[in-house]
Chains A and B, each alone.
Chain A
Amino acid sequence: MKKTMLRKPKGFVDVYVHKAGAEKDRTHYCPGCGHGILHKLIAEAMEDLDIVDDTILISPVGCSVFAYYYFDTGNFQAAHGRAPAVATATSRANPNKVVISYQGDGDLAAIGGNNIVQAANRGENIVVFFVNNAIYGMTGGQMAPTTLEGQVTTTTPYGRNVDTDGYPMRMCEVISQLTAPTYVERVSLHDAPHIRKTRAAVRKALQNAKERKGFQFVEVLSTCPSGWKMDPVKSMEWVKEKMLPLYPLGVYRDKGDEARVITRPVPVMDPAEVWKKLGISAEADVDFPRGDVADEYKKMSIRVAGFGGQGIMVTGQALASVALEYGYNVSWLPSYGPEMRGGTANCSVNIQDGTIGAAEAVKPTMLLAMNRPSLEKFEKTIVPGGTLIYNSTLIDIEPVRKDIKIFPVPITGIADDKLGNIRVQSLVNIGAYAAITGMFKVEDVVKLLPKLFKGKKQSIIDLNAKAVKAGFDYVKENF
C-alpha cells in the first residue's frame, strides 16, 4: 500500500519503557547520530515487511547497547562482541524467526572479530547490521579497528599510526571471502540519496531473512558527531570525503535466487520416541544367572597392563561389560600419565556387589600382565593371596611372588598361532579369566559379542568367539 505519511514506524515501541530515567519518548542517542537513522530504516522495513512480531533483535555493547529500548521485537542484550554467537543460538532455537545482530565497529570487528567471521562462515540464518563510524562512541571516542589512518581519537592522540596500530579493517571484504554468506553490501548514511540506498539494502536483507535465506551482512558507514567532535552536518561530509575512498560502497555478495533456504530439524521430545531413537529398550534388564564363584573372586580389583595395541583397554572394557550383565557393579578406568603415550598402557577394573570405592586398582586382587615391563611394575602391588595371569608368550622371566596364585597363559601365542589373528588377544584374556574365576560362562560371553563388537563384521565376531573358547580351554586343560 502506498504510504500517505512518513511517521514513526511501527517497528518501534510507542513508549520506551525499558529506558532508564523520565524521558521515555526520545532516544538516548546524541544529536545527529547515525544509529538513529539506521534504527528508523530498520523499524520501517520491519513494519512494511510485516515481521515486527516475528523478529528477535540482539543489542550489542556500544552506543547501540540500548537498541532494545526502541524496537518492538523480542530483545536480547549481549556481551561485547558476542551478538553473533547469541544470534546463532537464538536462530537455532527459533528457526522461523528473523534474528538481527546489530553491532558497532569495536564490537564486531575488534572484540567480536572471530564471532562474526565464524557465524558468517556457518551461514547462520541471521541479519547483521554493522555500523561503521570509525570510532568507539560509548566509551568516549577511542580507536576502533575501522579508525582511519591518521585519525585522532582518545587512544590515538597523535593520529592512528599504521605501523603500531595496524590498518583500518574492511569487514565487507573480509566477510565476502567466505563461501556461506548470502548477501553482503556496504552502504552509507552520508546524504539523502545514500540513505535511500541504505533503506533498500536494509529491506533486502530483512526480506531475505524472512525467507530464511541465510547470512545477511549490511555494513553502514555512519557518523559519530560527538566522538568526532564535529557538528552533524560536517560529519556527513567527513564520511563522504574520508571514509568513502577507503570503504568502497556496493554489493560484495548477492546469491540472489541461488541462496539456500535454511531449515532446521524439529527436536524429538516425546519420551518413548527419545528412547527409541537412542536404541534404549524400555524392557527391564535381565541378568545372566551367576555360576559358582569362589569367595576370593567375588570382589575383584583388576589391573590389566601391557603394550598399546595389545588390547589392554578392550580387555578391561570387556571384563566390565560382561560382569555388568551378571548384575555386578563395575568400573573401568584408563591409565593416566606418561605411560599412556610411551607405548605401555594399563587400566583398572572393579567388579563387585555393593558400592565401588577407589576406581584405580592400586592393590589389585588380580593382575593381567601382557608384557614384561607390566609384570615387573605391578607384580609387587598384588594383594597377598591374589591372582596373576601373565602372557607367557612374551614374558621370559619368572614371577617372584610366592604368596599369590600364578597362571602363565600364552595369550599372544593362542591368538597368533592358533587363531591367526593377534588382535583377538583381548577375548583370549576374557576366556582365561572366565575359566579361573568361574564368574563368566563362555556361552554368555559369546552371546554378548555382537553387542561388544557392534558394527563389526560377523567374521570378526566369530573369530572372537573362538578366542574366548581358546582362552577358557587352555586354562581348563593346563591348570
Chain B
Amino acid sequence: MARMLMKGNYAAVYGAAMAGCTAYYGYPITPASEVAESAAALFPKLGRTFVQAESEVAAINMVYGSAGSGQRVMTGSSGPGISLKMEGISYCAGAALPCVIVDIMRGGPGLGNIGPEQSDYNQVVKGGGHGNYRNIVLAPNSCQEMCDYTMLAFELADKYRTPVFVLTDGVIGQMMESVTIPEPVKELPDKSDYAVFGTPLNKNLVNSIYIDHDDLEEWNMVLHRKYQVIKEKEVMYEEYMMDDAEIVLVGYGSVSRVLRTVVDDARAKGIKMGLFRPITLFPFPANEIEAFPERGIKHVLTVELSTGQLVDDVNLALAGVIKSDLYFRLGGNVPSADEISDKISELYGEEK
C-alpha cells in the first residue's frame, strides 16, 4: 500500500526518492536530523548515495558537485546549518545548478533552541548568501505536502536550473500524518548541455566565475530574467473561505493550520474571515495580495513565528492601501487558535 503514517521529515525523503533523487549529502541537526536519517535508511536500498558530510558547508558543496554531475540531489538542515550552507547555495545559484534543500526551521538567532520558528524566512526567501540570486521556496503545511512539494521542488529545480528550498518548521517536520506515496518519475531530464560527465563528447564547465565585468553583468541579467519568469509563472497559494471574507489571515507552514482552525471558529460565530496561505514564498503571491482591497477585504492579519519577516512581503504587496497587522510568537511557542482569535477581537472587535 502506498499510504503510510510518517513524519514530515521522512515524507520529504520519500518525495525525493520518487523524484529520482540519486544522492543525499547531509549533516545532523535537530529538528532536521530525521531527514538525513531517513535518507540513510532509504537511499542504500535503492543503490543511491548517502553521505554524512563533515560539515554543513561540505554537504552543500557536495550538492554542488552532484548537481554539476547531472544528478538530482538533496540536502537538509535547520537554521544554524542553513546559515553555513549559504556559501554553497550561492555557488549553486551562480553556476545555475539545480538542487533541493529542506529547511526544518528552529529557533534562533545563534544556537536558539530546537522549537519551531519561522525565522529563516529572510535568509531563505531573499537569497541568503552573497550575490544577486533567489531560491524558489515552497512552504508545505502537511506531511503529504512535504512529500509532494519535495517532488515538485526537483521538477522546478531542473526546469529553472536553480536551488529550490522546501521550507517548513519543526512542527511539520516532526509530526506524523497519512502520506500517500506518489509514483516514481519515469523519466529524468537530459542535462548533457551543462552537466559534467567526463566523456569524450562532454567537456562542460561548471563555474560561477566571470572575471570580466561585462561578462558578469550579462550573466547576472540572465539570472535576473530567470527570476522574473519564475515570478510570472510559478506562484502558488491556497485560499480558504476567502470569497466573502472581510478579515483575512495570512500565514504559511504550521501556522496556516492553526489559522485554518481560527477561521473555522470565526465562521461558526458568523464572522466573515478567510485564510490566505502563500505556498511559494519566492515567488511571493504579491499580485493576489495586492488585489485584496478590490475584493472587499478590510483587514489583513499576518501571523508568523518570526518578528515580522513574512509581513514585510505582505506589506510590500498591499502598499499601504489597507490596514495590515502582525501577530507573532517566538522561541518555539506556537500560538493557539484561541490566542489568535482573541488578538483578532482586540484588533477588529468593535468593527465586526
List CB contacts (< 8 Å) of A188-220 with chain B.
none
Q: Among the listed B62, B197, B212, which residue makes an inter-chain contact with A94, where contact means beta carbons less than 8 Å apart?
A: B197
Stretch from B170-178, B220-228, B280-288, B312-320 contacting the other chain: B170-178
Is A153 on the interface with B (CB-CB < 8 A)? Answer: no
Name the residue among B3, B68, B176, B332 with the largest chain A CB count within 10 angstroms.
B176
Contact string, B39-66, partner A, CB cutoff 8 A, digits 1/0? 0001011111101011101110111111
Q: Which residue of B lies closest to A92 (CB)?
A: B49
Knowing A271-B185, A275-B184, A332-B5, the reply to whether A75 touches B332 (Cβ < 8 A) is: no
With A280-B181, A285-B3, A359-B254 as contacts: A73 and B203 at CB distance below 8 Å: yes
How far does the Cβ of A20 sit from chain B's closest Cβ, in whole Å?
Answer: 5
B118 within 8 A of A: no
Among A54, A275, A357, A362, find the residue whose CB has the most chain B CB atoms closer than 10 A: A357
- A274 beta carbon closer than 8 Å to chain B: yes
Residue of A whose beta carbon sits closest to that of B90 = A79
A247 within 8 A of B: no
Among A31-39, A82-90, A166-174, the stretch that binds chain B is: A82-90
If A20-B211, A267-B46, A317-B176 touch, whether A86 touches B2 (CB-CB below 8 Å) is no
Is B121 in contact with chain A by the CB < 8 A criterion? no
Among A72, A115, A265, which residue has its beta carbon within 8 angstroms of that of B58?
Answer: A115
B142 CB contacts on chain A under 8 angstroms = 356
Nearest-neighbor residue (CB-CB) of B205 within chain A:
A75
Q: Please, what's the 1-or-0 string for A66-87, where 1 marks a CB less than 8 Å from any CB in chain B?
A: 0010001111111100100111
The verdict on B9 contacting chain A, using a C-beta distance below 8 Å, is no
Do A329 and B198 have beta carbons less than 8 Å apart? Answer: no
Beta-carbon contacts of B204-226 to A below 8 Å, as 1s and 0s?
11111111100100000000000
Interface residue tally on B, bucketed by range: 35 or more
Name B43's closest neighbour in chain A (CB-CB).
A267
The reply to whether A75 and B206 form a contact with Cβ atoms under 8 Å apart is yes
Contacts A86-B64, A336-B332, A360-B334 given; indicate if A74 touches B202 (C-beta within 8 A).
yes
Contact of B17 among A21, A278, A363 (CB under 8 A): A278
- The answer on a CB contact under 8 Å between A77 and B338 is no
> Taking the nearest CB of chain B, how far is it from the CB of A138, in angstroms?
12
- Which A residues lie within 8 Å of B204 (CB)? 74-75
Chain A interface secondary structure, helix, strand, loop or mixed? mixed
Smallest distance from the beta carbon of B14 to chain A beta carbons, Å?
8
Known interface pairs A82-B88, A268-B46, A362-B337; A118-B1 also in contact (CB < 8 Å): no
When distances are taken between beta carbons in the complex, the residues of chain A under 8 Å from B128 are none
Least Cβ–Cβ distance between A47 and chain B, in angstroms: 14
Q: How far is the CA of A97 from the CA of B3 in the complex (A)?
A: 40
Q: Bound complex: CA of A74 vs CA of B204, how far in Å?
A: 5
- In the bound complex, how far is the Cα of B63 from the Cα of A395, in angstroms? 53
Residues in A whose Cβ lies below 8 Å from that of B177: 320, 329-332, 356
Within 8 A of A (CB), among B180-198: 180-181, 183-186, 188, 196-198
Q: How many A-B residue pairs have CB under 8 A?
A: 243
B88 touches A94 (CB 8 A): no
Contact of A114 among B54, B181, B215 (CB under 8 A): B54
Residues of B within 8 A of A94 (CB): 69, 197-198
Size of the chain A interface, CB-CB below 8 angstroms: 74
CA distance A21 to B214 in the complex (A): 12
Residues of chain B lying within 8 A (CB to CB) of residue A275: 2, 181, 183-184
Instruction: Report yes or no: B55 in contact with A114, Cβ–Cβ below 8 A.
Output: yes
CB-contact partner of A79 in B91, B203, B337, under 8 A: B91
Cβ contact within 8 Å between B212 and A20: yes
- Residues of A close to B306: CB separation below 8 A: none
- Find out whether the CB atom of A89 lies under 8 angstroms from the CB atom of B69: yes
Taken together as a complex, chains A and B put the C-alpha atoms of A269 and B210 apart, in Å, by 36
Pairwise interchain contact A76-B174, C-beta atoms closer than 8 A:
no
Instruction: Write out the residue numbers on chain B whose beta carbons fall within 8 Å of the beta carbon of A337.
Output: 115, 332
Interface string of B141-173 (1 = CB under 8 A from A): 010000000000000000000000000001100
Q: Are B208 and A357 in contact (CB under 8 A)?
A: no
Provided the pairs A92-B23, A115-B58 are in contact, do residues A281 and B332 lie with their beta carbons within 8 angstroms?
Answer: no
Q: Are B332 and A68 in contact, with the CB atoms below 8 A?
A: no
* Chain A residue at minimum C-beta to C-beta distance from B143: A331
6 CB contacts below 8 A, A to B, read A54-B199, A89-B25, A118-B58, A330-B5, A333-B174, A359-B257
Which residues of A are interface residues toward B (Cβ below 8 A)?
Answer: 13, 18, 20-21, 53-56, 58, 65, 68, 72-79, 82, 85-90, 92-94, 97-99, 114-115, 117-118, 122, 264-269, 271, 274-275, 277-278, 280-285, 317, 320-321, 324, 329-334, 336-337, 355-360, 362-363
Across the A-B interface, give the 6 residue pairs with the lowest CB-CB distance, nearest first.
A89-B65, A93-B69, A357-B261, A118-B54, A86-B65, A265-B47
